[in-house]
Amino acid sequence: MMRIFSTKYLRVRLIKLVSICCLDKLASNALWQETSKGKNPTWIISFYYYDSHLLLCFLKVTNNFGMTAVADLEFPLIDEKMQVAKTNEILKDKNKTHFSTYCVASGRHYARLYDGDYQKAVEHIKKVAGEFSDDQVIMYPDHVKGFCDGAFYSQLMQMRVATWMPPAELEKMMRVFWRNGFQIHVHTNGDLGMKTLLDIVETLMNESPREKHRTTIEHAGYFTEEQADRIAKLGLLVSAAPYYFYTLADSYSEQGLGTRRAHAMVPIKWLFDRGVTTAFHSDFTMAPSQPLLLAWSAINRITAEGNCYREDLKVTPYQGMEAITKNAAIIMGTDDIMGTIEGGKLANFTILEQNPLAVEEIAIKDIKIFASVYKGKMYKIE
């Protein structure tokens, strides 16, 4: 799962460390704009995914790493008309695109259209979904994205709440979409953000109980074991970003989180231990768009500098494979047609040259992809 049209905040001091770039020099098309002053100013990166060449580069990356379905978790990011046009031009081209794209409506975008009237946003989302969707690109008529806190890369997550959606506004938004039966995805990275979200879900459950509300925590960069208990009790799903640990654990040990919390970043095992449906995503371009690499990150918990912290928080290879197949489909709400190979589902799967459950755990990320099969047709990876 990944974001196609991506805007992210980064501290300047992390740019060289993280070395965020994309194939075909996507990063060369980034707009860098200073947004604050001080020793560690925040910058904004706006990738021009409205450019056809860049969208074709994304298409190439997705095809080459064998993915048969992706999710855009904030649609549209900026301009609906332009984004729809480019998506129609590129991602609906069945001769070039060997995967399906699922789009989750941006709660904040549609709220702005109607001055915070979320009920009108509900109707607009349903209308656009009906007009825009086909069998290649699907905009959900009943999924929406909200924000609980800031980005992990910019350290706007821990003990801080983002100004673009304060807790009261998030609760207002969630209440309307909750009562309309939507699956709500919430950007949540820090433990204070997690507390805010869990408190809101608990309030909504008390007001209007929903047995399978499927509220999904997106990213889950840091949370406590007690919060993992609440996640399970309240029935939330989690789409986690395991690559945070590989990229940031060493740096954040020194500045930002401190050793104890940085070493326990993305504690996914706590979720599996409690039976919480948990998937992995790249948030491309925040991490490489390589599902096996994401699984490898959670299975090995090795940092970019070669350190291994909190081995007790490693997941098993089988759990890692579930997180990039079956569980991802459950969170996307498509497990009736994909995610596992069984009768009655689409013939969508990836053919690997080695068995990830049989090789050494450290070698999982290096397994080569032989081909992808999308809707019954095989596409060999060159």
* DSSP codes joined into one string, 328-350: HHHHHT-TTTSSS--TTS---EE
pLDDT of residue 77: 82
Residue 3 placed within a domain:
no
Q: Which tens digit of pLDDT belongs to each residue from 63-78? A: 999 999 999 999 998 7
Quote the Cα angle for 158-160-163, to 5°. Answer: 140
User: How many domains does the chain contain in total?
Assistant: 1
Domain presence at residue 29: no
* Average pLDDT of the residues in 144-167: 67
Asked whether 190 and 198 are in contact (CB, 8 A), the reply is no
pLDDT bucket at 53, cuts 50 / 70 / 90: confident
Task: Say what the pLDDT of residue 18 is.
Answer: 36
Query: 48 near 83, Cβ under 8 Å?
Result: no
42 lies in some domain:
no
Bridge partners (DSSP) of residue 371 are 351, 380
Give the least confident one: 49-63, 116-130, 207-221, 292-306.
49-63
Residue 7 Cα distances to 68, 75, 379, angstroms: 24, 12, 31
With beta carbons less than 8 A apart as the criterion, state whether 263 and 308 touch: no
User: What are the pLDDT digits (tens) for 282-325?
Assistant: 988 788 889 999 999 999 999 999 999 999 999 999 999 999 99
Structural contact between residues 137 and 75, judged by C-beta atoms closer than 8 angstroms: no
* 330 within a domain of the structure (yes/no): yes
- In this prediction, residue 13 has a pLDDT band, given cuts at 50, 70 and 90, of very low
pLDDT surpassing 70 at residue 8: no
pLDDT per residue as tens digits for the range 30-40: 322 323 333 33
Is-cis flag, bond preceding 163, omega within 30?
A: no
Q: Is the pLDDT of residue 143 over 90?
A: yes
Q: Is residue 90 part of a domain?
A: yes
Is 185 part of any domain? Answer: yes
Question: In the prediction, which pLDDT does 55 show?
Answer: 81
Tokens of 89: 């031009």
Domain of 103, in residue numbers? 51-380
The answer to whether residue 155 sits within a structural domain is yes
Give the model's pLDDT for residue 321.
98
Residue 169 belongs to some domain of the structure: yes
CATH number for the domain spanning 273: value is 3.20.20.140
What proportion of the chain, given as a percentage, has pLDDT over 90?
71
pLDDT for residue 164: 54
Question: The pTM is what?
Answer: 0.86
| pLDDT computed for residue 50 by the predictor | 53
